[in-house]
Amino acid sequence: MKITWFGHAAFLLEGSKKILIDPFLSGNPMSPVKPDEVDADLILVTHGHGDHLGDAVEISKRCKAPIVCIYELSVLLGRKGAETIGMNIGGTAKIEDVEVTMVKAVHSADVVENEIISAGDPVGFVVKMDGVSVYHAGDTDVFMDMQLIGGLYKPKVALLPIGDFYTMGIKGALKAVELIKPEIVIPMHYNTFPPIKQNPEEFKEKAEKMGVKVVILKPGESLEV
Ligand code: NI
Ligand code: MN
pLDDT at residue 107, rounded to an integer: 98
Q: Is 3.60.15.10 the CATH classification of the domain at 2-216?
A: yes
For residues 191 and 199, what is the distance between their CA atoms, to the nearest angstrom? 8
Q: What are 10-54's pLDDT values in tens digits?
A: 999 999 999 999 999 999 999 999 999 999 999 999 999 999 999
187: enclosing H helix or E strand: strand 184-188
Q: What are phi and psi of 204, to 5 degrees?
A: -60, -45
For residues 69 and 86, what is the distance between their CA atoms, to the nearest angstrom? 5
* Cα–Cα distances in angstroms (integers) from residue 151 to residues 87, 132, 173, 184, in the given order: 22, 15, 17, 15
Ligand at minimal distance from the CA of 163 is 2
pLDDT at residue 6, rounded to an integer: 98
Query: Ion ligand 2 — residues with CB under 5 Å?
Result: 51, 139
Residues of the chain with pLDDT under 50: none
Distance 51 CA to ligand 2 centre (A): 5
145-151 contacts, C-beta under 8 A, 24 or more apart: 145/104, 146/176, 146/179, 146/180, 147/179, 147/180, 149/103, 149/104, 149/124, 149/180, 150/179, 150/180, 150/181, 150/182
For residues 141 and 102, what is the distance between their CA atoms, to the nearest angstrom? 17
Ligand at minimal distance from the CA of 108 is 1
pLDDT at residue 142, rounded to an integer: 98
pLDDT at residue 138, rounded to an integer: 98
Ligand at minimal distance from the CA of 51 is 2
Distance 166 CA to ligand 2 centre (A): 7
pLDDT at residue 125, rounded to an integer: 99
- The residues spanned by each domain of the chain are 2-216
pLDDT at residue 121, rounded to an integer: 98
Ligand at minimal distance from the CA of 122 is 1
pLDDT at residue 40, rounded to an integer: 98
pLDDT at residue 98, rounded to an integer: 97
